[in-house]
Structure 1
Amino acid sequence: MQKIAIDSGNKNPNFIGSWTIEPISICDDLISYFELNISKQKSGIAGSSLNLDIKDSVDITIKPKEIILPGNGAFKLYFDQLFECYKDYVEDWTFLEQISDRLEIGSFNLQRYKPGQHFKKLHTERLSLDSLHRIFAFMTYLNDVQEGGSTFFSHYDLEIQPQKGLTLIWPAEWTHAHKGNILKEGSKYIITGWMNIC
């Protein structure tokens, strides 16, 4: 067997879309929701179990039907903005028009990391039969982080530093293996979840 290099053409994309949501105050509202709802906070779950050797965070998991509950208006504003990001993503990759109306948001997480915490394990968002329905992951950084806390996409040697409002959409596949680097200072807040095929 001989390995052959093929012409990479005139593009070398990583398929990670990025935007800044507006108004940026949505981020403050989501952080406030997290901090005011202490009873809903739980140590981060990775997969179906708690394993701090994989993921060390505090999370609030929210089901889509909870978005319409009183006091949850920030989520509707956020998902209106996320949908605008996704529409722009589809314009860049027009093949997605074939499935764009068949995607839905499932349960999603608000997460907080403190110094020393991070998502330690390199992982993807579509690893088992339980996650086959995931097509894209989304994440918005809710605050600026000065020291550590970046997201590292290993196949692209790409490190993204959290900036308030920075929103990412990327494929859930093995091609986008990633992890969180150790937070060294302050707190890191994110909202994250998946776009699922229905």
Structure 2
Amino acid sequence: MNKVFINKSNLHPHFIGSWIMDELSICKGLINYFELNSIKHIKGRIGGGIDPNTKDSIDIVIHPKDILLPGNEIFKKYLDELFNFYKNYLDEWPFLKEMTQVLEIGSFNLQRYKPGQHFKKIHTERASIDSSHRVFAFMTYLNDVKEGGSTYFSHYDLEIQPREGLTLIWPAEWTHAHRGNTLIKGSKYIITGWINFAN
């Protein structure tokens, strides 16, 4: 077998879109929601259930039907911002407008990490038939983090430090395997989920 190398162009994109939210008050509102709703706190889950050796966090799961409930207005404000970022992502990669005409956001997570916690395992967002409907992942950092807590995309050797309002959208593929690095100090809050093929 002879390995053949295809000539590279000068363009080496990582396909990770990034934006800063205009309304940082939304971030503060989401953190407040998390802290005021401790009754909804659960241990972070992955596809196989609870495994703190893989994911160590405290989460609140938000379902689409919950968004319009009284007291949950902050999620509508957040999703409006996210939709603007998503439209900009499609403008950057026009092919996606043809491929992904009908997509939806399913359940998503509001999460908190304390020192020593993180998503420990390198993983991808589409890893089995059960997650094959995922097209993109999204994540917004809700606060600045000074020590630890970065997101590491292993194939690109790309490390992103949490910053209030910084929002990422990336393909839910093995090409974007990543992990969360250990939080050293303070708290780290994020909101994260997936943009899916419509059911």
Measured against the shorter chain, the TM-score band is over 0.9
Q: Letter of the aligned partner of 2:144 in structure 1?
A: D
1:179 matched to which residue of 2?
179
Q: SS at 1:101's partner residue?
A: coil
1:184 counterpart letter in structure 2: I
Aligned to 1:43: 43
2:77 paired residue number: 77
> What one-letter code is carried by the residue in structure 2 that aligns with 1:32?
N
Give the alignment's Cα RMSD to 1 decimal.
0.7
**How big is the shift at 1:21?**
1.1
TM-score by length of 1: 0.98
Any gaps of 5 or more consecutive residues in structure 1?
none
* Superposition map of 1:18-167 within 5 A: 18-167=18-167
Q: CA deviation at 1:70?
A: 0.6
- 1:8 deviates by 1.6
Q: Match of 2:26, as an amino acid?
A: I
2-structure distance, mates of 1:75, 1:129: 28
Residues 90 and 100, structure 1, Cα contact 8 Å, conserved in 2: no
Of 137-146 and 94-103, more deviation after overlay is shown by 94-103
Per-residue deviation at 1:22? 1.8
Shift in Å at residue 6 of structure 1? Answer: 1.2
Counterparts of 1:6 and 1:128, CA distance in 2: 29
Give, as a single letter, the amino acid of the residue that structure 2 aligns with 1:51: D
| % identical equivalent positions | 65
Q: Could you tell me the TM-score, scaled by structure 2's length?
A: 0.98
Give 2:37's aligned amino acid: N
In structure 2, C-alpha distance between the alignment counterparts of 1:48 and 1:107, rounded to whole Å? 17
Find the aligned partners of 1:172 and 1:197 in 2 and give their Cα distance: 12
Deviations 1:33-76 (A, max 9, x none): 00000010001001140000000000000101111111111101
Offset, 1:10: 2.5
Q: SS where residue 59 of structure 2 aligns?
A: strand
Q: Deviations over 1:101-159 (max 9, x none)?
A: 31100000000000000000000000011100000000000000000000000000000
C-alpha distance in 2 between matches for 1:101 and 1:71: 31
Query: For 1:99 and 1:69, how far apart are their aligned partners in 2?
Result: 32
Deviation at 1:98, TM superposition (A): 1.2
Gaps of 5+ in 2: none
Distance 1:101 1:74 in 2: 26
Q: How many residue pairs are counted as aligned between the two chains? A: 198
Cα offset for 1:9? Answer: 1.2
